A and B are shown apart, each in its own frame.
Chain A
């Protein structure tokens, strides 16, 4: 079973993503902050990570940059996830591999995760 790790501070967004992705047959763990990003990621070993931009404590950019500096965890694709209109620039700064702009269709969410898993 493929595993998805989600970082987003909005409980509803987490509930929706968990619902959709579990419905698609994936295992999901979600956090409302991005503390201990390395430890949490290393413990769960996800196949893909969804990272929100505005998230406590350091924000998605810093958290993604930390992940992308880790020699092992850097291989896990990160989908950058934001309602900011300049999501593309943010994703590049963070070093993320894919973007998913909020608001998204549930189908977009599923397809973006599928694409990242390939």
Chain B
């Protein structure tokens, strides 16, 4: 069928529309007033019967070509649960009115098709039909109800287009995450091999020159850096998807922090580490994730301060029953703008972009881990004299 008008059948006002539109289509086709009325009456009888049972019926009026002749056709489709019999007056009378009447039942819906053959003298052809369809599309609404109905339909179209766009975006996001996860797995495998061969070369039982040994150390160091970056990328993609997971356990805080400082002494041998601990407490943490936090904060402290300066790790119990951990350096410090933005994803201070490498992922991940542990993180800093990062953790 070449559709000309469609009307959803929801309430009595749609009956008026159905009647008026049926008349109009028949009139524009040049049918006699008697035929117009017959067709419109049959359509309204069926529309009324459908509206009595459901509010999601649909009326389509259009033309259908049977060999060389066209017929005016109306289809009314409705829920497959609804069955009409000749006991339904509208259903019974409509059959008497139009020459072509057919009820089809499918597994999705039931449809009533009504047809009136059109005389050849009308000389319908595709361009004429297209023009008719266009005139109905552009026609002013019959009444305020139809206007609202049309607007509603167009709003619905926009809403479903937006829904589709959202769905597409989600799909792209899922693909991106999957890609990052596979890519980092694929990068990690050769990294494992590279790291292991380097360690094997370092441990070899043959005389190795100091020069070669120092080159191997450098390869080892750089492959560790690369691994950290891959891990951070993976963490960011997990944070974005809300599935960074934690395996928490009770940990003695001072022992944990001492262990972290001891590891850092090896990595940053030219810095002077001090600890100023309050009384020891137990905290409920994911140890691996918290190691990441300490490695990030201590690593930054070393990265942005000169050799032979001090880095102090302290703890202090707060009034509201939390423990506060601080990491202070005597480095270059940060401007107030940087201080305000330093925990943002991919943020890098303008003055360090050229002098210090980094992607701006570390502190973002750190702050996420701390807040996921129900803690807070902040920083106090003075340009030229150093920064202190603080974070709190609830007691176990």
Q: State the A residues within 8 Å of B (CB).
A: 10, 12-13, 16, 19-20, 54, 83-85, 88, 102-106
Contact A106 B199 (CB under 8 A): yes
Main secondary structure of the interface of B (DSSP, over half): helix
Q: B192 touching A102 by the CB < 8 A rule?
A: yes
Chain B nearest CB: distance from A15 CB in Å?
9
**Which of A12, A20, A102 contacts B188 (CB under 8 A)?**
A102
Indicate if the CB atoms of A16 and B184 lie closer than 8 Å. Answer: no
The CA-CA distance from A92 to B203 in the complex, in Å, is: 34
Residues of B in contact, count (CB < 8 Å): 18
- If A12-B197, A20-B196 are given as contacts, then 10 extra A-B residue pairs at C-beta distance below 8 Å, sorted by A number, are A12-B193, A12-B196, A19-B200, A85-B181, A85-B234, A102-B189, A103-B188, A103-B227, A105-B199, A106-B200
B24 within 8 Å of A (CB atoms): no
Evaluate contact between B192 and A13: CB separation under 8 angstroms: yes
Chain B residues lying within 8 Å of A85, measured Cβ to Cβ, are 181, 184-185, 234, 238
Question: Which B residues have a C-beta under 8 Å from some C-beta of A?
Answer: 181, 184-185, 188-189, 191-193, 195-197, 199-200, 203, 227, 234, 238, 247
Tell me what chain A mostly uses at the interface: helix, strand, loop, or mixed. loop
Number of residue pairs across A and B with beta carbons under 8 Å? 46
Q: Identify A10's interface contact among B184, B189, B247, CB under 8 A.
A: B189
User: Which chain B residues lie closer than 8 Å to A106 at the CB level?
Assistant: 196, 199-200, 203
Residues of B within 8 A of A13 (CB): 189, 192-193, 196
- Which residues of B sit under 8 angstroms from A103, Cβ to Cβ? 188, 191-192, 195-196, 227
CB distance from B251 to the nearest CB of A (A): 18
Choose among A19, A83, A84 the residue that contacts B192 (Cβ–Cβ < 8 A).
A83
The CA-CA distance from A102 to B184 in the complex, in Å, is 11
Asked whether, in the complex, the Cβ of B197 is within 8 Å of the Cβ of A83, the reply is no
CB of A16 within 8 A of CB of B197, answer yes
Pick from B189, B238, B247: contact of A83, CB below 8 A: B189
CA distance A105 to B220 in the complex (A): 11
Q: Which residues of A contact B193 (CB under 8 A)?
A: 10, 12-13, 16
